[in-house]
Structure 1
Amino acid sequence: MPVKLNTTYISSALADKLSHISEYPVTSIVAPIGYGKSRAIRWWADHCQKKKSDSLILQQIIVTDSLTDFWRGFCRNLREWPELEKDMSALGFPADPQARQLMMELLTDALAGKSHDIFYIIDDLHFLPNPAFTSLILFLSDHLPERTHIILLSRNVIFDRAAQMKLGPRLWELNVDDLRLGETDVREYARRSGQLLNIRDVNMLASSTEGWFSMVYLKLRAYTQTGKWPENTTNIYPLIDEVLFRPLTARQREFLVRLGVPDDFTVEAAAYLWPDGDAAALLHSLTAQNAFITCTDGVYRYHNMLRSCARKKYALLPEAEQNATLARLGAWYERTGECCLAAECYEKAGRWDDLLRTVGQDRGLSLGPERLPLMRRWMANCPEECQLRHPRALLVFMLLLFYGRDIPEMRRYHALFQRSMALCTDLSRRERDQLEGEALLRLSFLCFNDISAMSAYHRQIRALIPADRNPWTQGSPSVLMLYHSKSGGLDRENAEMRECMPIYSRVASGHGSGAATIMQAETEFMRGNLTDADILCRQAEEQALEVGEYSIYTAAAFLSARLALYEQPLRSGFPLLDRAADTLRRAHQYRLLTTVELGRGWLSALLGQPEQLPAWLTAEGASMAQVFPLIEPVFQVIVGRALLAQGQWAQAAARMPRLLRACTAARFALCGVYAHLQNAVALMHLEKETAARQALCEAWSLAQPDGILLPFAESDPCLDRLLDELAEGEVQEHLHTLAARFRAGREATQQEDNLLARYGLTERELEIAGLAAQRKSSREIAEILNISVKSVNNRLNAVYEKLGLGGEGRNKRQALAKLMKIS
């Protein structure tokens, strides 16, 4: 019988355990290296597709500890659904609840109606020991579409006891005991591989390997090659060398060593790294006789133990040969758009010019803030004379240093950039103008709420082609909170904005369009001039949408939602924010969905509806991780409003000193008004009237030079008496009118929202339910709300389920109309 050690062997007990995978949303397979986790799941996948040919099995192997890298790989695996792949890529790793909810909406819309099972395998998960990933899996286990499954393979424990309890019956677990080979298994594997062993050899092999599949395979292979059982094999790595490397020709060994440098490779990559013309033939011969090399969907991977051995041998090569291989691999990654992998190869090869060229060409698109430690290492180790040859890379370093809030180092790199520009005499005039313009734009970030100072930079920008702009508002739902910097200077700031923004928007291809209009709209709103505010808000929205400036559009949506409380007849602000979110999704502006959530948090707190607050805003020690660092005071003011809505008076008062320092440092004057006002409310409820009066006076003195009234009209009634002591004449009368309109609108909104509480519907579900109850078709509802028919049907099904409505579609709609009392 010919020897075929590459034969896949799965015990009957393991096959039975694997057969239950399709019954669970999540499966974990945890065992030390070499026990055959990947081998078992490959057998299961082949068996599954033979049994259910329509099953879709996707696989991703983790090779770094980066969530960004994981997400990029995940999105690439969604190529069967091009729109979903595009949306998921734009979304980014869903680290917060609202992003996860959006992810589920995208997945549900794309996978709805699929009649076959979808399995997503994530292997080598031990390389990504990140709690955010575990949290995502826990979320998915509750929300995955039906017949969609996740399979996780790791050397280390994936879920702690608490997570296992949360998953409960949704988790299927396999461990080392399921994968270990017993004596019967060893004998059967040897027989199928062409080796008929006597009982003594079977017992020896099973006991000496302790059922470790990789060791069983290597010992059997050694016995096949030499007719002797290897001795002193407690360490598997010398055995790998003896069995997998020594029998090869020198050329095969060299090929095997060099192809161990990348984490994985295709035939094309192998041919590029081994340009002698016989890469494909070598690869075929080696994989035919080596179970430690696998190929899935055209991608070859070494088993981790084989890779480790190959890299140890690679490290013994002459340095020049090592560097040549790394440089060639870097060039391959650069050709295929893997900027970060290319740069890391160039770094190891000492090819600093190639590294900086790659970074500059990428313009920072692949190098987010999580790569800052890596970038710092490059900056520290790369010779300065080399950096001076690459001004584009220096601009990327400046940007990442800004996001890391290392302003002194950012300024030092700007000085280095200026020296670089003086030395790079081969740049064309257009290239020079573009680079200098981008440098000035980065410097303008340092004074982003000083309109005149920003404008001084913008006037110098002669040419600018931005690659990947951040939201102009930095994710704040309010422009005025960002750009009102000095009490008494609001009219001057608006005038500066009207003068400066057209210049900036022109050189920045429309970035920030509508900013001056929305800032004036917010100013009129703060002064209680509601009609003027409404007109300007609508104008700002049009200006923003005309050029795709979605951060200004989002700020206009937030203001519209706040204005809705004062309108007659009353409109709820939440559907306006929902519609804005839908618009942002269609435009793939996922970063701004957090901004919408901030707006929802503010509106919920304003209406005294703490149960509607986004969970991540109300969590203990609400995290800044969801928002841009520059808007911290805005974020903290919204959190403060949420604390007041929850009646957490002491906590709200205790955090005020830090908040006020942040407002002062950032020169956010309107945030300062709100902070003092929130402090006054908290102190009044804590029966500290003297301190509350002082805090209210501080807020009033900051607001009145600019005629700001709305924050006081929308404050807690507990301050009414103290406010009457401060406001006089027409100001007091106007304040009373605004407060009365606000409280009437809030009461009417609360009555409407009782429907939400009674049935547990979301605002969007209530809006769709109301239209469905009016006998609108799904297509009509989709056109009214500017969303897809599929989204309407998905939400309607959720409504019917929550309301317990069954039967045919027409009957359900009639029951819905009756329940909502709509004739």
Structure 2
Amino acid sequence: MNTIYISERMQECLRQIEESAFTTIIAPMGYGKTTAVSWYLEKRRQMGDQVFRVNIYSNNINLFWKSFCGAFHNTELGKQISQFDFPMGETAVGLLAETVLDYLCHREDQFFLFIDDYHLMNDGRVLSMLIKLTDIPVSNLHIIVASRNAILSQSEDMHLGQRRHAIATGDLRLNPTELSIYCRRCGVSMSKKQLAELSEQSEGWFSAVYLNLKSISMGKGLLDGRDDVLGMMDHTLVEGLNAGYVELLQKMCLADEFSLQQAEYITEQTDVADRVRNLSASNAFVRYLPDTQTYRFHHMLQECMQKQFSRLPSEEQAACRTRYGKWHESQRQYTQAINFYDQAGDRRSALRVIGLDGGTQLAAIAPERILSLLDNCTEEELMAELQGLLVLMRRLFSWQQIPRMLKIKDVLLKAVSQSELAEDERNNLLGNCDLIMSFLYYNDITAMSQLHQSACRLMSRPSISIPKNGSFTFGSPSVLMMFHREAGKLDSEINEMNHSMPYYYQVTDGQGMGAEQIMEAEAFFNRGQFVDAHIMLEKARASAAGEQQNYILLCCDFLSPRLALCGQLPYQEEWYERKLEQFKASRDPMLFTVLDGCLAYVHALLGRVDRLPIWLRDGKLAEANLLNPARPMFEIIYNQVLLAQKQYAVVIGRSEGLLKSCQAIPYLLCELHIHIQLAAAYYALNRQKDAEEELRTALEIAVPDGILLPFVENGVYLRELLTATQRKYPQQISAILACADEMENVKRGLSGNNSADLGLTESELAIARLIVQRKTRKEIADTLYLAEHTVKNKLTHIYDKLHISGKPTEKREQLTKMLSNEK
């Protein structure tokens, strides 16, 4: 009865997978999607091809990525991609595509990647990543995605074009002839009348056919066509089993997939291994997964048994879920443990696990689930798990659930005051609480520092709720933009930052190390004191590197090229590439987003609109992996991009709302940039009066602190306007204009036409520059309005001209060096 039957018609459909980059197989539950693809892939495996399978069990993108990396665990590719988290943002996805390309490009065997149950994944970033992988220039990668629902949008379908192969319900459905063959293969003898009845009743639906044949083989005859499929399954697969098997099915139906060890722990049956193997051998709805050495129930059987599980006494259900929670807790699978404890009503255990997790995996759970858990907790349950409360306070701040955060704080303080904790433990809890509460005073350095100092006096160990490798800057490319909040107070803000940060480092084990130094370096830079800026920049870089503080290092990398544009340092064209290589081993995809922001601002200043990261070029900030405190800074970066693109009206139209958001925090330096950008946009549109008003406002903000460089960086737009208003601020504007002249000289040197030195045409040079940015042929074609095959031919010609050979990454590295050496 476990015979696998794939019709000749279906085999022909499956054979076309090899000729396609992306195959979709879409049909309702029970049509044999997984069985058909698994049969085909086993044939490919026997031929020596490489097969990788990813099962999706939820909409959790982090769990998907874990399964994705696990599919490649025995390969060199798996070792590389498992080093970082799911790639969020175009740059991170591009790095993944490049890693896959390097792995595949010189291999002759075929690679098949099967993504099953995609209908459970609603996060569009997964599909975007898969489509990106189809764009890499290899012919030996074949992605197969199975789903109950439609997968591709019309634009995605058009993008894939002839590279896509579609298998649908009609391909999977058994016609009368195929039904007859399948019955004979299963050893079931049926009359023509019975075959006709079965064909009409099942409409070729594989699961209904299988259940009917199972019923006939048991001597029960055809099932009643009026029964629903769960009734059919109960009648044929569950009835008649002894109590041990039924209990096994009822309890293990809560698992997406399970090992024999987990089944033994959950069911507490000593002979569970034999029972699981027997079920797998006699029941096509219980499948062994050799890649992971686990077992899985078909969704239909799982749904059938979950219905039975729901009829068990509530105490028995809760006990089973609690055992699941304990199992996952023992495996440090804290997300699953929290979910099972919550479902069991064991809220205290859920709070305990939240404390053990420290907030790392908690970020993968939907905020609504945690908020619901909190709403159902009694005060006594909350007071019993104080470490969990601290983690929750930090997470509630990130979710901007401030009233709930304050309520948790009150419970924490009450518990500490009433408990018999040792003094050291009590002080550490209170110190952690002060540290977390300091975030409510962001970005008031003085107020934050008072709480940091209090935390230092109390705590004898680093914070449990603020990881050292977290983002001190929230993803901002500038510390000065974060903490400069009042005109005329920049010096006192720097002094307070220098005074406060050592306390913060003490209680966070060095998170953000170098922040006060880079803030001071930025202040020197903005005042035109370039030597002092360079000295402090190098101090900040050394401090941050010593503690591996990547976000502070990114702030350093945002300042370095801007110093170079002022003629103070050599401009290094490869700085972006170097950082990309450095971050490849990082588990933090937000780093790539911040790096893109740095690149976009610098290229906008240089007028290199053809080199902008695509997502910033197209203004897709809403889709970016950004935390709220960093958004205003990315908005001014995008404004600078719009100015470079000459979209002046758009700058004006969006800036009123940006000003309000900056004033609310307050972010005075961001506000200053917006007024300058508005002045530039108005002046470009011949709105002289409006431009003068915006410039006057900007100068009133900047002059009390001696800030010059935001005007310098926009000197190309503001020169005439600055000259016309020089009388009120003669000294400052003279300094701005002189520095702007130097910047224009540097920019002319960098933007000179050097294509002749390399022997490339302008068109070839444009393509070469985009290749250096890791753009695919499709992206280059879209950017330069060329056909994709034209880009492919030109790229081949470029490499031939420059005598470049090797792997794709080796070619790109050689090309990068050649472009960076242009004189």
The Cα offsets for residues 35-69 of structure 1, whole Å up to 9 and x where unpaired, read as: 1111111211221122x13x221212211122222
| Cα 1:386/1:401, change in 2 over 3 Å | same
Aligned residue number for residue 18 of structure 1: 14
| Pick aligned residue for 1:456 from 444, 450, 454 | 450
How far the C-alpha of 1:111 sits from its partner, in A, is 4.3
Aligned counterparts of 1:429 and 1:802: Cα–Cα separation in 2: 73
Aligned counterparts of 1:678 and 1:629: Cα–Cα separation in 2: 22
| Pick aligned residue for 1:217 from 210, 213, 226 | 210
Which piece of structure 1 moves more, 414-423 or 335-344?
414-423
Aligned residue number for residue 731 of structure 1: 732
The Cα offsets for residues 83-117 of structure 1, whole Å up to 9 and x where unpaired, read as: x5565455433332112112223333444533322
How far the C-alpha of 1:621 sits from its partner, in A, is 6.0
Aligned residue number for residue 749 of structure 1: 750
Amino acid at match of 2:342: E
| Cα 1:443/1:761, change in 2 over 3 Å | farther
| Cα 1:154/1:732, change in 2 over 3 Å | closer
Amino acid at match of 1:378: L
- The reply on whether 1:102 has 2:102 as its aligned counterpart is no
- The reply on whether 1:292 has 2:285 as its aligned counterpart is yes
Aligned residue number for residue 299 of structure 2: 304
Aligned residue number for residue 621 of structure 2: 622
Sequence identity, in percent? 31
| Cα 1:80/1:420, change in 2 over 3 Å | farther
Aligned counterparts of 2:78 and 2:269: Cα–Cα separation in 1: 37
How far the C-alpha of 1:597 sits from its partner, in A, is 0.8
Aligned residue number for residue 471 of structure 1: 471
- The reply on whether 1:760 has 2:766 as its aligned counterpart is yes
Aligned residue number for residue 638 of structure 1: 637
Aligned counterparts of 1:134 and 1:767: Cα–Cα separation in 2: 22
- The reply on whether 1:650 has 2:649 as its aligned counterpart is yes
TM-score, scaled relative to structure 1: 0.90
Aligned counterparts of 2:246 and 2:647: Cα–Cα separation in 1: 68
The Cα offsets for residues 679-705 of structure 1, whole Å up to 9 and x where unpaired, read as: 111111222211211110110011001
In 1, are the aligned partners of 2:768 and 2:795 still within 8 Å (CA)? no
Aligned residue number for residue 483 of structure 1: 483
Which piece of structure 1 moves more, 140-149 or 335-344?
140-149
The Cα offsets for residues 479-521 of structure 1, whole Å up to 9 and x where unpaired, read as: 1111111110111111112222122223322222212221111
SS of the residue aligned with 2:145? strand
Alignment of 1:399-438 (within 5 A): 399-426=394-421, 428-438=422-432
Aligned residue number for residue 372 of structure 1: 367
- The reply on whether 1:93 has 2:86 as its aligned counterpart is yes
SS of the residue aligned with 2:135? helix
Aligned counterparts of 1:530 and 1:79: Cα–Cα separation in 2: 49
- The reply on whether 1:9 has 2:5 as its aligned counterpart is yes
Aligned counterparts of 1:802 and 1:703: Cα–Cα separation in 2: 51
| Cα 1:714/1:72, change in 2 over 3 Å | same
Aligned counterparts of 1:309 and 1:42: Cα–Cα separation in 2: 23
Aligned residue number for residue 242 of structure 1: 235
In 2, are the aligned partners of 1:87 and 1:588 still within 8 Å (CA)? no
Which piece of structure 1 moves more, 661-670 or 503-512?
503-512
| Cα 1:71/1:588, change in 2 over 3 Å | closer
How far the C-alpha of 1:322 sits from its partner, in A, is 1.1
Which piece of structure 1 moves more, 311-320 or 233-242?
233-242
SS of the residue aligned with 1:488? coil
Amino acid at match of 2:495: A
Aligned residue number for residue 526 of structure 1: 526
| Cα 1:42/1:816, change in 2 over 3 Å | closer
Amino acid at match of 1:171: R
| Cα 1:817/1:606, change in 2 over 3 Å | closer
SS of the residue aligned with 1:667? coil
SS of the residue aligned with 1:59? strand
RMSD, aligned CA: 2.8
Gaps in structure 1 of 5+ consecutive residues? 769-796
| Pick aligned residue for 1:260 from 253, 265, 269 | 253
In 2, are the aligned partners of 1:222 and 1:228 still within 8 Å (CA)? yes
| Cα 1:593/1:723, change in 2 over 3 Å | same
Aligned counterparts of 2:818 and 2:454: Cα–Cα separation in 1: 63
SS of the residue aligned with 2:800? coil
Aligned residue number for residue 37 of structure 1: 33
Aligned residue number for residue 78 of structure 1: 72
Aligned residue number for residue 391 of structure 2: 396
SS of the residue aligned with 2:218? helix
SS of the residue aligned with 2:178? helix
| Cα 1:655/1:196, change in 2 over 3 Å | same
In 1, are the aligned partners of 2:97 and 2:132 still within 8 Å (CA)? no
How far the C-alpha of 1:736 sits from its partner, in A, is 2.3
How far the C-alpha of 1:721 sits from its partner, in A, is 3.4
Alignment of 1:403-802 (within 5 A): 403-426=398-421, 428-461=422-455, 462=459, 463-465=461-463, 466-467=466-467, 469-567=469-567, 571-620=570-619, 622-623=621-622, 625-724=624-723, 725-726=725-726, 728-751=729-752, 758-761=764-767, 801=796
Aligned residue number for residue 774 of structure 1: none
In 2, are the aligned partners of 1:389 and 1:424 still within 8 Å (CA)? no
Aligned counterparts of 2:754 and 2:471: Cα–Cα separation in 1: 32
In 2, are the aligned partners of 1:91 and 1:99 still within 8 Å (CA)? no
Aligned residue number for residue 784 of structure 2: none
In 2, are the aligned partners of 1:575 and 1:767 still within 8 Å (CA)? no
Aligned residue number for residue 219 of structure 2: 226
SS of the residue aligned with 2:362? coil
Amino acid at match of 1:10: I
Aligned residue number for residue 317 of structure 1: 312
SS of the residue aligned with 1:106? helix
Aligned residue number for residue 356 of structure 2: 361
Aligned counterparts of 1:817 and 1:578: Cα–Cα separation in 2: 8
In 1, are the aligned partners of 2:467 and 2:508 still within 8 Å (CA)? no
In 1, are the aligned partners of 2:475 and 2:627 still within 8 Å (CA)? yes
Greater length-normalized contact order (CA 8 Å, ≥ 6 residues apart): 2
Gaps in structure 2 of 5+ consecutive residues? 775-791
Aligned residue number for residue 786 of structure 2: none
Aligned counterparts of 2:476 and 2:564: Cα–Cα separation in 1: 20
| Cα 1:319/1:225, change in 2 over 3 Å | same
In 1, are the aligned partners of 2:527 and 2:707 still within 8 Å (CA)? yes
Aligned counterparts of 1:802 and 1:539: Cα–Cα separation in 2: 45
| Pick aligned residue for 1:65 from 59, 76, 85 | 59
TM-score, scaled relative to structure 2: 0.90
Amino acid at match of 2:331: T
How far the C-alpha of 1:637 sits from its partner, in A, is 1.1
| Pick aligned residue for 2:155 from 155, 162, 171 | 162
| Cα 1:243/1:79, change in 2 over 3 Å | same
Aligned counterparts of 2:731 and 2:604: Cα–Cα separation in 1: 29
How far the C-alpha of 1:146 sits from its partner, in A, is 4.2
In 2, are the aligned partners of 1:574 and 1:600 still within 8 Å (CA)? no
Amino acid at match of 2:544: A
Aligned counterparts of 2:183 and 2:140: Cα–Cα separation in 1: 37
Aligned counterparts of 1:270 and 1:20: Cα–Cα separation in 2: 39
